[in-house]
């Protein structure tokens, strides 16, 4: 019985200790933005930005992280308050958004195409809140929802064009995440670009088998990249979150990485997000997620944001240290293609 | 023992006699204290953190609805694993059975038309249950007639189900004119409604839970199940048809998991998408073990997990603590419920030794 | 040698058959066959190691369903150990130590406390998933690469050389670990004692074997192999750590263990079979030779496993006392 009392005593002591420290509470999410709080978001002079991730976390080196960085930077720039919630169950999208709408946040960024439907529903119920849907195509225009969408096929096309010009073996590879729309657009764009640059090129395309971890399996990505390398592919496009990152890291280990073997990253400039890949990373097929999200948050702040779709920019990342490995004529040709894609004179021809 | 101590222990006798209730509650408390230390180390007041979880999960009408919604499939997946354990089968495949059923009931909800609302719901639920049962039944038949161990076959069948469903929602049953892998929405007539903050599916799950408990504890079939699970040799001598037991055990287990998936589709998601229902079947294993394979105990176990999951987002919103802390709390609770240390610590010599829930790999 | 073949007839026949087929393909297409085999063996390595963990545990009467969590913890420890100390070899040791600790935890819970073994394993899995995710820190990179070692002479053998004998440390060690575990279980006094404890603990006890002690030791030591598997995944195979890195390989290893009939050589054959069919599926997807959706092509390893098991292998029997805690009478 004595033991039971000790146990109870310890528990109470722990709780009391914890309670005493309550004054100093400071949270990770709040530290990341201006030192306001969200108690008066409804007030006109305050500007509160909330972000709901798709399944996954804000440090995923991929789209959640980019949108998070963009939204956080924009909120800080205009003196707003920023907070995020990481979704752990796709059925919670609505509830996670409600956390922010309940506190009358001004802007809610929702990340990922899976959230499109939930975002529109929440927007209709909260007409005074602006919603920014990253990767969410808007079929019908809702005044307070802006879908930030990207022509992924164009980024893929430009990357493929570069690869098609640079390959010595005429064999290219793609190590991809799950076979879903944005990934398919990257992949088909890459193949189209490569074939446009070099008619003799063959592109090996392998998607991760359907599984819950299709975008988080670097072990598989690395093994697949190794296989494609030994079958003669000399430039490989790794597109698929952690799975693609595994491929990039593996290629960086290969003999000749940076001179005869190259890899191409995806979504953001992976020179910074996956430093292990630097030996082989010639460029990344980029979606301007950070800039796009930041721009829309700022537009929401100054009131210039419009409903419907907002086309973000895509393009190729800097060549960084491998610029010397890319011949000048290739660089200029690729620059032409990027410009042509932008002004619409070059079409990728990709349809899903 | 002095007189005063004697008196004290009489007063506390009620605790000793109800160890099976006291130990889990103590386990949860200790888990929350240990979790609180982790939270404290992150610079957050644990009380604020726990308040965030519970005020969202219990004291907010939307939150409460969500707690029940999350609890429902957990009860059923937990029951599925429980029934398996009682027959000596370890059904790791509740996940595959649940998602197959979720798609099946979605298809029934979409493509069967001209039914009255109640009938349509029943038919759609039934389709889910049948598909879940049949998917598990494959493992049952392989075990009974080909000696293929259910742990292997259900793991393989999980992956096979994921692949087939991925194909089906990317191609033949994909909602047209949009790029997501998903089916159309089910018809209005197939929707399983909420009654205030209580989803109808939750009530259904409770009824099924009572029925399973009754079946396992009061009927001949249940007696046979338990006999097979406890001692297959005795069961064989008693003239129980082992093959039949294995197949019906798997069918029942899969049917329960399937009902969980069907309720998810008809009551919450209204369509099928591969990203829905991730991990529910595996949570079922945790629930069944937390409940020590007692069907009725799956309800509080599922409510605990459902509460923590429903409050996870609010926890992050209010305090910035990452929602994974919830899993750490669950693991500590499960450990303390199952390990005899807590009971020994509390009751010393009077600690009851609980029977094991599982018997390794069955037979 | 003859004894070895006699003892392991099924695995040896399977491996022999695979070798013959592999060489036939090798003469048809050298590069593709080699690279597919490299993929297959790389896929099999963590499965084999993890299956050894399961086999050692169950042969001694302890079911280990927590291999997934043990590997995940070890992968996490080896990666961040390498990052913090700046040395991958220290990281490897830290990973193995983490495996030992996780093994020790299972031993204490399942053997000393006589806790339900499956629950103890599930606890390990949940704790590992929770902690490795909670404490994960992004933006860290390995201080150096794991070197690829070529074993002289052996690595020059066509096909087999580059696949098995030109690898990182853990992948190289795996073959020898399997042989060592096989030898230890079937040819040593320790193995005999362990097996008797796993089959008939009360008889072993009567014969003067300390059941609790041998179970504690074996389960703990097996954890070190889970540590190797985790370190292999993080340091050698992926070169990074990601949340949920093990991706269900610990559960797959249980299937491999049963597929291999609780026999190290059998598990090796089963893992190779599974790895090769996975590699084949990915090659079929890459070559687009057959016009089948990739979702179906990728079902190959799972469907093949079910077919092989239901047609050829049939009923296998686990060690009789696996899963049952042992309480000394009196």
Pick from A210, A214, A351, A352 the residue to mutate for testing the B interface (most B CBs within 10 Å): A210
Interface partners of C (3+ CB pairs, < 8 Å)? A, B
Structural domains in chain A, CATH included, are 32-150+291-300+304-311 (3.40.50.2300), 152-287+319-343 (3.40.50.2300)
Distance between alpha carbon C68 and the CA centroid of its chain, in Å? 10
Interface partners of B (3+ CB pairs, < 8 Å)? A, C
User: What kind and span of H or E run contains C269?
Assistant: helix C264-287
Q: What is the mean pLDDT of residues C170-197?
A: 94
Q: Judge contact between C72 and C80, C-beta under 8 A.
A: no
Contacts of C244 in chain A (CB under 8 A): 213, 216
Euclidean distance between CA atoms A147 and A186, whole angstroms: 19
Cβ contact, residue pair B171, C293, below 8 Å: yes
Given this model, what pLDDT does residue B21 score?
83
pLDDT score of A265 more than 90: yes
Least confident piece of the model among B259-268, B349-358, C196-205, C231-240:
B349-358
Please tell me if residue B63 touches chain A, with a CB cutoff of 8 Å: yes
Pick from B90, B281, B331, B333 the residue to mutate for testing the C interface (most C CBs within 10 Å): B331
Q: What is the mean pLDDT of residues A242-271?
A: 94
Kindly give the pairing relationship between strand A48-52 and strand A107-111: parallel
In three-state form (DSSP H/G/I as H, E/B as E, the rest C), the secondary structure along A162-207 is: HHHHHCCCCEEEEEECCCCHHHHHHHHHHHHHHHHHCCCCEEEEEE
Please tell me if residue B29 touches chain A, with a CB cutoff of 8 Å: yes
Kindly give the pairing relationship between strand C166-167 and strand C149-150: antiparallel
pLDDT score of B296 more than 90: yes
Contacts of A220 in chain C (CB under 8 A): 247
The alpha helices in B58-193, defined as continuous H runs, are 61-86, 94-111, 117-146, 150-170
Given this model, what pLDDT does residue A11 score?
47
User: Reduced to 3 DSSP states, what percent helix, strand and coil does chain C have, rounded to the nearest 5?
Assistant: 75, 0, 25
Torsion angle of C-alpha atoms A7, A12, A14, A20, degrees rounded to 10: -170
Cβ contact, residue pair B63, A95, below 8 Å: yes
Euclidean distance between CA atoms A273 and C138, whole angstroms: 9
Band the pLDDT of B9: cuts 50, 70, 90: low
Given this model, what pLDDT does residue A20 score?
40
Given this model, what pLDDT does residue B231 score?
80
pLDDT score of B44 more than 50: yes
List, for residues B162-212, the tens digit of each pLDDT value: 999 999 999 899 998 888 889 999 999 999 999 988 999 999 999 999 999
Euclidean distance between CA atoms C195 and B56, whole angstroms: 53
User: What kind and span of H or E run contains A246?
Assistant: helix A241-253
Please tell me if residue A351 touches chain B, with a CB cutoff of 8 Å: no
Distance between alpha carbon B349 and the CA centroid of its chain, in Å? 33
Band the pLDDT of B233: cuts 50, 70, 90: confident
pLDDT score of B7 more than 70: no
List of residues 6+ apart from A71 with CB closer than 8 A: A49, A51, A82, A84, A109, A293, A294, A297
Euclidean distance between CA atoms C158 and C115, whole angstroms: 50
Cβ contact, residue pair B328, C131, below 8 Å: yes
Helix axis angle, B94-111 relative to B150-170, nearest 10°? 30
Other C-beta atoms closer than 10 Å to the C-beta of B176 total 5
Euclidean distance between CA atoms C139 and C142, whole angstroms: 10
- The closest alpha carbon to B295, from B124, B79, B11, belongs to B79
Band the pLDDT of C130: cuts 50, 70, 90: confident
The structure tokens listed for B330 are: 């669950």
Cβ contact, residue pair A218, C238, below 8 Å: yes
Please name the residue that has the structure tokens 């979606």: A287
Q: Judge contact between C46 and A220, C-beta under 8 A.
A: no
The structure tokens listed for B52 are: 């965030």
pLDDT score of B218 more than 60: yes
Band the pLDDT of C315: cuts 50, 70, 90: low
Q: Judge contact between B57 and B307, C-beta under 8 A.
A: yes
Least confident piece of the model among A324-328, B8-12, B87-91:
B8-12
Given this model, what pLDDT does residue A13 score?
44
Least confident piece of the model among A66-70, A124-128, B279-283:
B279-283
Band the pLDDT of A222: cuts 50, 70, 90: very high
In three-state form (DSSP H/G/I as H, E/B as E, the rest C), the secondary structure along C30-76 is: HHHHHHHHHHHHHHHHHHHHHHHHHHHHHHCCCCCCCHHHHHHHHHH
The CA radius of gyration of chain A, in Å to the nearest whole number, is: 23
Given this model, what pLDDT does residue A213 score?
85
Pick from B313, B323, B328, B350 the residue to mutate for testing the A interface (most A CBs within 10 Å): B313
User: What kind and span of H or E run contains A49?
Assistant: strand A48-52
- Which has the higher per-residue pLDDT, C4 or C183? C183
Q: Judge contact between C254 and C55, C-beta under 8 A.
A: no
pLDDT score of C314 more than 80: no
- Which has the higher per-residue pLDDT, B233 or B30? B30
CA torsion through residues B260, B261, B262, B264, sign: positive
Percentage of chain C beyond pLDDT 70 is: 98
Please name the residue that has the structure tokens 């176990």: B301
CA torsion through residues B154, B157, B159, B165, sign: negative
Mean of pLDDT over chain A: 88
Pick from B71, B275, B314 the residue to mutate for testing the A interface (most A CBs within 10 Å): B275
Quote the pTM value: 0.90
Distance between alpha carbon A43 and the CA centroid of its chain, in Å? 32
The structure tokens listed for C219 are: 């389960």
Euclidean distance between CA atoms A35 and C203, whole angstroms: 70
Given this model, what pLDDT does residue C8 score?
78
Alpha carbon of B347: minimum distance to chain A alpha carbons (Å): 7
Contacts of C315 in chain B (CB under 8 A): 146-147
Euclidean distance between CA atoms A303 and A306, whole angstroms: 9
Rank B85-89, B167-171, B256-260 by mean pLDDT and report only the highest: B256-260
Buried b (16+ CB within 10 A) or exposed e, C276-305: bbbbbbbbbbbeeeeeeebbbbbbbbbbbb
pLDDT score of A34 more than 50: no
Least confident piece of the model among B1-10, B259-268, C179-188:
B1-10
Euclidean distance between CA atoms B282 and B288, whole angstroms: 10
Please tell me if residue B13 touches chain A, with a CB cutoff of 8 Å: no
Q: What is the mean pLDDT of residues C167-177?
A: 94
List of residues 6+ apart from A12 with CB closer than 8 A: none
E-strand stretches of C107-202: 149-150, 166-167
Kindly give the pairing relationship between strand A308-311 and strand B194-195: unpaired
Euclidean distance between CA atoms C74 and C80, whole angstroms: 10
- The closest alpha carbon to C164, from C308, C290, C306, C38, belongs to C38
Given this model, what pLDDT does residue C58 score?
93
Please tell me if residue A28 touches chain B, with a CB cutoff of 8 Å: yes
Cβ contact, residue pair B279, A212, below 8 Å: yes
Contacts of C170 in chain A (CB under 8 A): none
Rank A32-36, B196-200, B251-255, C295-299 by mean pLDDT and report only the highest: B251-255
Band the pLDDT of A43: cuts 50, 70, 90: confident
- The closest alpha carbon to C127, from A297, A12, B334, belongs to B334
Band the pLDDT of C35: cuts 50, 70, 90: very high
- Euclidean distance between the first and the last CA atom of chain A, given in angstroms as a whole number: 70
Q: Judge contact between A326 and A333, C-beta under 8 A.
A: no
How big is the CA angle at B179 (ends B186 and A194), to the nearest 5 degrees? 160
Structural domains in chain C, CATH included, are 2-313 (1.10.3470)
Whole-Å CA distances, C158 to B18, C23, C44, C164, C174: 69, 9, 20, 11, 20
The structure tokens listed for A341 are: 């894609």
Interface ipTM above 0.85: yes
Contacts of C141 in chain A (CB under 8 A): 275-276
Pick from B34, B49, B361, B362 the residue to mutate for testing the C interface (most C CBs within 10 Å): B361
Band the pLDDT of C245: cuts 50, 70, 90: very high
Cβ contact, residue pair A210, B162, below 8 Å: yes
Euclidean distance between CA atoms C265 and C262, whole angstroms: 9
Euclidean distance between CA atoms A120 and A114, whole angstroms: 12
DSSP string of B124-156?
HHHHHHHHHHHHHHHHHHHHHHH---HHHHHHH
Nearest beta carbon to residue A242 from set C39, C142, C242 = C242
User: What kind and span of H or E run contains A235?
Assistant: strand A235-239
Q: What is the mean pLDDT of residues C306-324?
A: 78
Alpha carbon of A109: minimum distance to chain B alpha carbons (Å): 14
The structure tokens listed for B120 are: 């349509």
Structural domains in chain B, CATH included, are 16-350 (1.10.3470)
List, for residues B314-331, the tens digit of each pLDDT value: 999 999 888 888 888 988
Helix axis angle, A328-343 relative to A152-166, nearest 10°? 160
- Closest residue in A to B7 (Cα) is A1
Contacts of C120 in chain B (CB under 8 A): 335, 338-339
Euclidean distance between CA atoms B269 and A118, whole angstroms: 11
Given this model, what pLDDT does residue A25 score?
37
Other C-beta atoms closer than 10 Å to the C-beta of A198 total 18
């Amino acid at each position: 019985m004595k033991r039971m009392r000790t146990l109870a005593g310890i528990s109470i002591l722990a709780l009391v200790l914890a309670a005493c420290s309550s004054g100093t509470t400071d949270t990770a999410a709040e530290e990341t933005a201006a030192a306001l709080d969200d108690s008066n978001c409804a007030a006109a002079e305050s500007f509160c930005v909330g972000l709901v991730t798709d399944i996954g976390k804000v440090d995923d080196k991929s789209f959640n992280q980019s949108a998070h960085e963009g939204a956080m930077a924009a909120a800080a720039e205009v003196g707003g308050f920023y907070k995020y919630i990481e979704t752990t169950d796709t059925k919670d999208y609505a509830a996670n958004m409600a956390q922010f709408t309940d506190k009358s946040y001004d802007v809610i960024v929702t990340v990922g195409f899976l959230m499109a439907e939930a975002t529109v529903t929440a927007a209709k119920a909260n007409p005074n809140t602006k919603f920014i849907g990253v990767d969410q195509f808007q079929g019908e225009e809702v005044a307070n929802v802006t879908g930030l969408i990207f022509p992924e096929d164009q980024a893929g096309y430009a990357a493929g064009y570069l690869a098609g010009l640079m390959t010595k073996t005429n064999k290219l590879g793609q190590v991809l995440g799950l076979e879903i729309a944005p990934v398919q657009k990257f992949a088909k764009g890459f193949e189209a670009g490569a074939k446009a640059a070099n008619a003799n090129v063959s592109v090996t395309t392998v998607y991760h088998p359907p599984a819950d971890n299709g975008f988080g399996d670097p072990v598989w990505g690395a093994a697949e990249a190794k296989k494609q390398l030994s079958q003669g592919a000399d430039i490989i496009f790794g597109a698929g979150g952690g799975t693609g990152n595994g491929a990039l890291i593996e290629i960086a280990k290969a003999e000749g990485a940076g001179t005869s073997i190259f890899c191409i990253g995806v979504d953001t400039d992976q020179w910074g997000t996956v430093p292990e890949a630097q030996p082989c990373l010639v460029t990344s097929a980029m979606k301007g997620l950070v800039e796009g999200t930041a721009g829309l948050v700022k537009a929401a702040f100054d009131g210039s944001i419009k409903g419907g779709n907002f086309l973000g920019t895509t393009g190729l990342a800097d060549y960084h240290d491998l610029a010397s490995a890319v011949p000048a004529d290739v660089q200029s040709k690729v620059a032409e293609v990027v410009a042509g894609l932008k002004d619409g004179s070059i079409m990728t021809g990709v349809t899903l | 023992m002095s007189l005063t101590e004697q008196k004290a222990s009489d007063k506390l006798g009620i605790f000793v006699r109800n160890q099976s209730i006291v130990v889990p509650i103590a386990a949860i408390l200790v888990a929350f204290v240990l979790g609180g230390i982790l939270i404290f180390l992150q610079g957050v007041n644990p009380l604020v953190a726990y308040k965030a979880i519970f005020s969202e999960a219990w004291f907010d009408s939307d939150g409460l609805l969500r707690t029940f919604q999350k609890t429902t499939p957990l009860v059923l997946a937990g029951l599925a694993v429980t029934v398996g354990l009682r027959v000596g089968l370890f059904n790791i495949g509740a996940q595959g059975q649940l998602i197959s059923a979720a798609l099946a009931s979605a298809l029934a909800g979409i493509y069967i038309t001209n039914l009255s609302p109640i009938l349509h719901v029943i038919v759609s639920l039934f389709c889910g249950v049948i598909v879940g049962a049949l998917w598990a039944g494959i493992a049952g038949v392989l075990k009974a007639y080909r000696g293929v161990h259910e742990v292997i076959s259900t793991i393989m069948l999980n992956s096979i189900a994921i692949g087939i469903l991925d194909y089906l929602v990317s191609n033949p049953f994909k909602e047209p004119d949009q790029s997501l892998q998903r089916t159309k929405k089910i018809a209005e007539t197939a929707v399983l409604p909420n009654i205030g903050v209580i989803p109808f599916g939750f009530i259904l799950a409770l009824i099924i839970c009572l029925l399973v408990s009754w079946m396992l504890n009061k009927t001949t079939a249940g007696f046979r199940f338990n006999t097979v699970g406890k001692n297959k040799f005795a069961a064989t001598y008693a003239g129980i048809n082992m093959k039949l037991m294995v197949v019906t055990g798997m069918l029942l287990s899969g049917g329960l998991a399937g009902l969980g998936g069907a309720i998810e589709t008809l009551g919450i998601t209204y369509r099928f998408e591969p990203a829905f229902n991730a991990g529910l079947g595996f949570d079922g294993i945790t629930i069944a073990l937390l409940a020590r394979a007692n069907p009725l105990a799956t309800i509080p176990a599922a409510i605990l997990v459902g509460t923590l999951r429903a409050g996870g987002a609010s926890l992050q919103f209010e305090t910035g603590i990452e929602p994974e802390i919830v899993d750490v709390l669950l693991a500590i609770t499960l450990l303390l419920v199952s390990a005899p240390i807590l009971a020994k610590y509390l009751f010393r010599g009077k600690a009851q030794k609980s029977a094991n829930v599982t018997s390794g790999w069955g037979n | 040698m003859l004894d070895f073949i006699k003892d392991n007839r099924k695995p040896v026949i399977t491996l022999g058959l695979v070798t013959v087929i592999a060489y036939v393909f090798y003469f048809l297409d050298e590069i593709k066959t080699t690279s597919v085999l490299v993929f297959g063996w790389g896929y099999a390595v963590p499965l084999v190691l993890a299956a050894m963990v399961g086999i050692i545990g169950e042969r001694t009467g302890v079911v280990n369903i927590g291999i997934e969590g043990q590997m995940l913890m070890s992968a996490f420890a080896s990666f961040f150990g390498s990052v913090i100390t700046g040395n991958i070899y220290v990281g490897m040791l830290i990973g193995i130590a983490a495996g030992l600790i996780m093994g020790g935890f299972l031993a204490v819970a399942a053997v000393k406390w006589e806790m339900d073994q499956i629950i103890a394993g599930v606890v390990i899995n949940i704790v590992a998933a929770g902690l490795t995710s909670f404490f994960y820190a992004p933006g860290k990179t390995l201080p150096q690469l794991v070197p690829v070692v070529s074993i002289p002479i052996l690595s020059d053998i066509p096909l087999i050389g580059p696949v098995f004998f030109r690898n990182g440390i853990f992948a190289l060690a795996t073959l020898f670990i399997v042989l060592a575990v096989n030898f230890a279980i079937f040819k040593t006094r320790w193995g005999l004692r362990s097996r008797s404890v796993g089959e008939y603990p009360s008889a072993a006890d009567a014969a003067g074997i300390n059941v609790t002690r041998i179970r504690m030791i074996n389960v703990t030591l097996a954890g070190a192999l889970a540590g190797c598997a985790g370190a292999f995944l993080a340091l050698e195979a992926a070169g990074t750590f990601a949340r949920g890195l093990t991706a269900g390989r610990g559960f797959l290893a249980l299937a491999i263990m049963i597929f291999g009939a609780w026999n190290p050589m059998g598990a090796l054959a089963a893992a190779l079979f599974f790895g090769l069919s996975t590699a084949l599926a990915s090659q079929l997807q890459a070559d687009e030779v057959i016009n089948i959706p990739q979702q179906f092509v990728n079902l190959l390893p799972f469907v093949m496993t079910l077919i092989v098991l239901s047609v050829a292998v049939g009923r296998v029997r686990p060690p009789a006392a696996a899963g049952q805690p042992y309480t000394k009478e009196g």
